[in-house]
Structure 1
Amino acid sequence: MLRTTMLTLLVGGLGGVVASQASLPLAWMLGPLFLVLVASLVGMKAGVDKRLHRSSIAMLGLFIGNRIDLAELSQLAAWYPSVLAMLGYMALMLVGGRWLFSLSGMSRLSALFCSFPGSMNGALIMADRMNVDVRWIAITHAIRLVMVVTAAVMMASYLVGGVMLGEGKAMSWSGLSLLALAPACWWLGRLLHLPIPEFLGPIVVGTAMSSLGYGVVLPDLLLILTFLVLGSSIGSRFAGTQWSRLIEIGRYGSLFGLYAVAMALPIAWLVSLLFDLPFAAVLLAMLPGGVGEMAVIAVALDIDPVYVVSHHVLRLLLLIVLTPPLIAWARRRRAAGER
């Protein structure tokens, strides 16, 4: 397994370099995913050791948690019109997306995870733990992310700078200590009997640290390695998949991306008209792109990044909290349909 893992990560690393040069969003996630995917489809034996995969999930949870500051979320009360609109938009994405993806013939749970309005990594991790086929979820979310971020960038006449992966922090001894902190958070999640402990445990710890003023900035190298492992692991699962099926699912993913943008535009326009909020700011808060990407675009457009980021963080938290009852509901529907 070691040899297979090393070969897979080598191919994934090449994909990450190419995606970075092309300035793709989440380049070190999507680049390895797509290149390992292609390699798997043409017959390469690919795979990533499960222990390494779960350790990367723990590191990702710590990264996400350190981006959540509960104090900043308190400002959302003053922005309740756009918050309520975002909740309505999330419902439209889940209902419309689930209906759209169900037409492709995938399972109801797969359709539910494909229709998540954002939180690509969270959807993949939770779907994997529910033994749901993550291949189609990865493809549809990757397409949605690229389409949404591209649409957001096209709003501006130009985008200042590129989309940064992290904070530009170099590796140090304190950064290396995070290699021990992430598994410890995973252990804490198991101790607290949290669902998906390797993901939610680090998120809880990271959020607490950030909210108390002791947040840590993960070195860019650790983030690159984390996304490299996750993207390569997902891409390796496409072995034996038919190209025709991949193209078919990609078509539905493209339709969902268009649907996400088409629904966000009138909702953002209506909120900005009724409550005297900047249209561009509301639109960036609605569109289900990545938190980092939307924050960079907000800065480029001279829009309050706290306003935009806080909406996306709230959406991420809601998706994490709502996923268990949504899964239970989908399972009950499936069981009722089998009777």
Structure 2
Amino acid sequence: MLKRTVITVGLGFVGGWVATLFSLPLAWMLGSLFMVMCLSLMGVKTGVDKRLHRGAIALLGLFIGSRIHADELAGLVFWYPSVLAMLVYMVLMLVGGYWIFTRARVGRMNAMFCSYPGSMNSALVLAERANGDLRWIAISHSLRLVTVVSGAAILASFFVDDVTLNSTSTSLTLLGSLLFLLAPLCWWLGRLLRIPLPEFLGPMAAGAIIANLGVDTSLPTWMVLTAFLVLGASVGARFSGTQWSQVISMGRYGITFALFALVVAALMAWLVSSFTQLAFVAVLLALIPGGVGEMAVIAMVMGIDPVYVVSHHILRLLLLIFMTPLMLRLVNQPPKQGGKSP
């Protein structure tokens, strides 16, 4: 398994590097995913050790937690019109997306995860814990992410001359290296305390606590990119034995959902901006289900308060995580016909 893991991650590295040349959003994750997925569909034997995969999940949990600051979330009280709009938008995305993906015949539970409005990483982590089919969930979220972020960048291009989606690099520090060891430790503590999703929520909680204590929790760029690379390669390897026709079939529903998300977000943003002093573009960036980092960078380029945008995305992420057990119970009872591949 070690040899196959090294080969698979190596192939993912090539895919991530190529994706960076085309400035794709989440290049190291999506590039790795698509490269390994395509080779798996062509019959290449791929696979990633589960321990490495879950270690990457723990690191991503720590990374997301380090972005959660209490003072930023406190500002949501003053932005309640757009927060309420975001809650309505979440419901519309979950219900509308669920209806769209049940048409793809992927099963009720997989349709629910495919319809998650944002946070591809979290959706994959939660789906894996619930024994969901990561192939279809990864396809739907990849298409949603590329479509939404590209659409946001095109929109921003009408307001500014240059838009870049590249994240700022973080220098390698001793503290950042120590945080690398904190992820598996918090994963172990999460299991000991029997919290749900210990490999994800344990490190995420630790990252948030440390960040709010005033400690600089900036992780080195190579750590985050490595986690994206491993997760993308691991998901791509799940396509072994899958037919191209199934991927193309699922892709139609993924693009439909992405366009649905953009149109509804634009309508919601227009309503909020019409009855409040909040700017249309600011509300739109806070609503559309793109990556937190990409939306924050676009906001900064356009002169919009990135805290306003990021706080909405973080709140939506937290709500989705804690709502998942209830939604799983809803879609799993009573059991109905479904679960077939597209």
**Cα distance in 2, alignment partners of residues 36 and 117 from structure 1:** 25
RMSD: 1.4
2:171 alignment counterpart = 170
Match of 1:305 in 2: 306
Matching of residue 204 in structure 1 with residue 185 in structure 2? no
The CA distance in 2 between the partners of 1:274 and 1:211, in whole Å, is 34
Relative distance call for 1:116 and 1:208 in structure 2 (3 A) is: same
Residue 149 of structure 1 deviates from its aligned partner by 0.6
2:116 alignment counterpart: 116
Amino acid at match of 2:74: S
| Counterpart-to-counterpart distance in 1, 2:161 and 2:312 | 21
- Give the Cα separation in 2 of the matches to 1:266 and 1:335: 34
Distance 1:173 1:276 in 2: 44
User: Who is 1:37 aligned against?
Assistant: 37
Structure 1 residue runs of 4+, over 3 Å off?
A: 158-161
After superposition, residues 86-235 of structure 1 pair within 5 angstroms as 86-157=86-157, 158=160, 160=162, 162-165=164-167, 167-235=168-236
8 A Cα contact 2:93 2:261, kept in partner: yes
- 1:196 is displaced (CA, Å) by 1.2
Q: Which amino acid aligns with 1:231?
A: G
After superposition, the Cα gap between the structure-2 partners of 1:84 and 1:182, relative to the gap in structure 1 and judged at 3 Å, is same
Counterparts of 2:78 and 2:334 in 1: how far apart (Å)? 38
Any unmatched runs of 5+ in structure 1?
Answer: none
Of residues 109-118 and 189-198 in structure 1, the stretch that sits farther from structure 2 once superposed is: 189-198
Superposition TM-score, scaled by structure 1 size: 0.96
Aligned-partner Cα distance in 2 for 1:315–1:211: 19
Unaligned ranges ≥5, structure 2: none
2:64 counterpart residue number:
64
1:155 aligned counterpart, secondary structure: helix
Q: Is the 8 A contact 2:153 2:163 kept in 1?
A: no
For the 8 Å contact 1:58–1:199, the answer to whether it is kept is: yes
1: CA distance between counterparts of 2:127 and 2:271? Answer: 34
Aligned counterparts of 1:237 and 1:171: Cα–Cα separation in 2: 32
Cα separation, 1, equivalents of 2:337 and 2:84: 32
- SS state of the match for residue 334, structure 1? coil
Deviation larger for 187-196 or 277-286: 187-196
Question: Structure 1 residues 137 and 208, CA, compared in 2 at 3 Å: closer, same or farther?
Answer: same
Deviates more, 1:297-306 or 1:209-218: 209-218
CA-to-aligned-CA distance 1:36-93 (integer Å, 9 cap, x gap): 0001011111000111111111000000000111221011011100000000000000
1:275 Cα deviation after fit: 1.1
CA distance in 2, matches of 1:336, 1:5: 36
Aligned partners of 1:159 and 1:297 also within 8 Å: no
Q: Distance in 2 between matches of 1:179 and 1:308?
A: 28
- Structure 1: distance between partners of 2:29 and 2:337: 37
Q: Which amino acid aligns with 1:260?
A: A
3-state DSSP of counterpart to 1:156: helix
Q: Which amino acid aligns with 2:65?
A: G
Task: Give how far 1:335 is off.
Answer: 6.5
Amino acid at match of 2:165: V
Matched residue, 2:259: 258
User: Does 2:245 correspond to 1:247?
Assistant: no
Other-structure match for 1:276: 277
Q: CA deviation at 1:155?
A: 1.1
Structure-2-length-normalised TM-score: 0.96
SS in 1 for 2:334: helix
2:20 is aligned to 20
Is the 2:149–2:295 contact (alpha carbons within 8 Å) kept by the matching residues of 1? yes
SS of 1:333's partner is coil
- The 8 Å contact of residues 12 and 36 in structure 2, kept in 1 or not, is answered as yes
